[in-house]
Amino acid sequence: MAIFNCLCVSQVGDRDDSNLYISTKLKAAAEVTNIHTLVLQSIMSVNENACVHGLIVQLPLDSANCIDTELVTNAVSSQKDVDGSVSKLSRGDLNDCFIPCTPNGCMELIRQTGVFVAGKHAVVIGRSKIVGAPMHDLLLWNHATVTTCHSKTPDLPEQVGRADILVVGAGRAEMVRGEWVKEGAVVIDCGINHVPDDTRPSGKRVVGDVHYSSASQRAGYITPVPGGVGPMTVAMLMENQNSLIIPKEIMWVAATSRQ
């Protein structure tokens, strides 16, 4: 796979300060190009390795240099994309793609409550490509009426109060207050945040995006953090991975034989 990345700098004259700026910019561009090339070459190598059945690109990409996340995730073979980062989900092709693991886990949690998604008003807080956006699509294709909220939503408490099903993945500690939640709602908290806590040896504790103690007084069902969405996400990843190794008919026989 050839990667071409060209930066052209137009300069008039030969000022020393300009020369310094230009050399710095060209160096930075070369570093970014090298990083992209190394990452993409690594992904392509795994794509072509028949011994590897699944490939995950852990997001966010943590680098001092800017990396094009979409370019990297799009390089993953759709046949090995067990995390569902390259998906046909937005088009509703649910049977022809891997479903992103966290949203898929959320749907399984909702299913286990016995609450039917069809006809419900669902609110998703957050619009990330790995949680919020695919969560919206999954709920929509399962016949819920879906509202997506984000940092620019002006009437967030009012929107939350309408939700029969609330999924929160905004990345802000305990932002959703209990008094916002509709009585009896299903509340799925995808947040993982660290807040100071002098009572813990580490000096901090993990909380979600929902204020659990107050929301649990009103919700019909609510997931804890930690211990709720996280383990289910891992379970969905393993399900995607196993589907690449075990033929579906064998999985079906194994499942029915336990009943």
Give the lowest-confidence range in 22-36, 87-101, 141-155, 245-259: 245-259
Question: How far is Cα 139 from Cα 120, in angstroms, rounded to an integer?
Answer: 9
Higher pLDDT, 97 or 149: 149
What's this model's pTM, rounded to 2 decimal places?
A: 0.67
Average pLDDT rounded to a whole number, residues 152-168: 95
Calculate the CA dihedral of residues 247, 252, 253, 258 and round it to 10 degrees: 130
Model confidence at 105: pLDDT above 50: yes
Rg (CA), the chain: 22
For residue 226, give every residue at least 6 positions away whose Cβ sits within 8 Å of its Cβ, in sequence order, or none. 192, 206
pLDDT for position 66: 67
Residues ≥6 apart with Cβ < 8 Å to 24: none
169: exposed, middle or buried (C-beta count within 10 Å: 0-12, 13-18, 19+)? Answer: buried
**Residue-level pLDDT at 244:** 53
Of the residues 25, 80, 182, 248, only one is catalytic, namely: 25
As a residue count, the chain comes to 259
Q: Is the pLDDT of residue 99 over 70?
A: yes
Does the annotation count 25 as an active-site position?
Answer: yes
Q: In order of start, what are the domains of the chain with their CATH numbers?
A: 7-75 (3.40.50.10860), 86-254 (3.40.50.720)
Place of tokens 């479903």: 99
Q: Which residues of 75-84 are buried (b: 16+ CB within 10 A; e: fewer)?
A: bbeeebbbbb
pLDDT of residue 42: 75
Q: Is the pLDDT of residue 9 over 70?
A: no
Residue 224 preceded by cis peptide, ω within 30: no
- Give the residue-averaged pLDDT of 123-152: 91
Which of 220-245 are b and which e, b meaning 16 or more Cβ less than 10 Å from the residue's Cβ?
ebbbebeebbbebbeebbebbbeeee
Type of residue at 20: L
Q: Provide mean pLDDT across the span 40-45.
A: 76
State how far Cα 63 lies from the chain centre: 19
The listed range with the strongest mean pLDDT (50-64, 84-98, 113-127) is 113-127
